[in-house]
Chain A
Amino acid sequence: DGGITQSPKYLFRKEGQNVTLSCEQNLNHDAMYWYRQDPGQGLRLIYYSQIVNDFQKGDIAEGYSVSREKKESFPLTVTSAQKNPTAFYLCASSSQGAPSYEQYFGPGTRLTVT
């Protein structure tokens, strides 16, 4: 079955530690995205990538980093510089970066930092 996988489902870390969230897709999509979701808020874009080896900052990129070495993979690292990292993180992909194409979402990773 084609889709997007995110691992792990739940992640716990101590403050000051970097942590990497995995996102893999087998939909052969060019574009991939990372969003952050907080209670009562919509989705906020962290980073996006429209092609391998290229990515762009979204609205809240500070304290995060990404890489896009392979078409199917777009890992997100939450660094110790992120002041409030506890949140639900969603990865998505779309066939192209064009706005008429819907995004397909993974199941999400819930990160808790204490």
Chain B
Amino acid sequence: AQSVTQLGSHVSVSEGALVLLRCNYSSSVPPYLFWYVQYPNQGLQLLLKYTSAATLVKGINGFEAEFKKSETSFHLTKPSAHMSDAAEYFCAVSGPLTKTSYDKVIFGPGTSLSVIP
């Protein structure tokens, strides 16, 4: 069974500082990994996804994430935080289809990012 943990339910950074949001997963098979962003009272929007093509994945709005199999991690980073980055971020994992079950996407609990002027 797959699962996702996100260390830190709330992260605060200063504007212009590095953003690092942590995500660790457990999966018995090579996973597909996603980062989504949610602004207040809105749906989720895909930031980036890992599907085994490259371990360093670049996404929208300057975000990127690196898949590290040995650490079972998929941390999200951005070199310089902007005020508009303040939002909730969700890491998600899914796995290959099996013959007997649908491997649904499992979302982590989310990390709320605050950006301090």
Q: Which residues of A contact B (CB under 8 A)?
A: 4, 6, 40-43, 45, 48, 50, 56, 58, 88, 90, 92, 97-100, 102-108, 110
Q: In the assembled complex, which residues on chain A have CB atoms less than 8 Å from the CB atom of B4? A: 42
CB closest chain-B residue, reference A105: B43
Contact present for A90 and B43 (CB under 8 Å)? yes
- Determine whether the beta carbon of B109 is less than 8 Å from that of A41: yes
The answer to whether A99 touches B97 (Cβ under 8 A) is: yes
Please tell me if the beta carbons of B105 and A103 are within 8 angstroms of each other in the complex: yes
- From B34, B36, B49, B107, name the one whose CB has the most chain A CB atoms within 10 angstroms: B107
Chain B residues positioned under 8 Å from A100 (CB to CB): 32, 49, 51, 94
Q: Which residues of B contact A41 (CB under 8 A)?
A: 109-110
Expressed in whole angstroms, the Cα–Cα distance for A110 and B34 within the complex equals 25
What are 6 A-B contacts with C-beta separation under 8 Å? A48-B104, A90-B43, A99-B95, A103-B46, A105-B43, A110-B41
The residues of B that contact A58 with a CB separation of less than 8 Å are 104
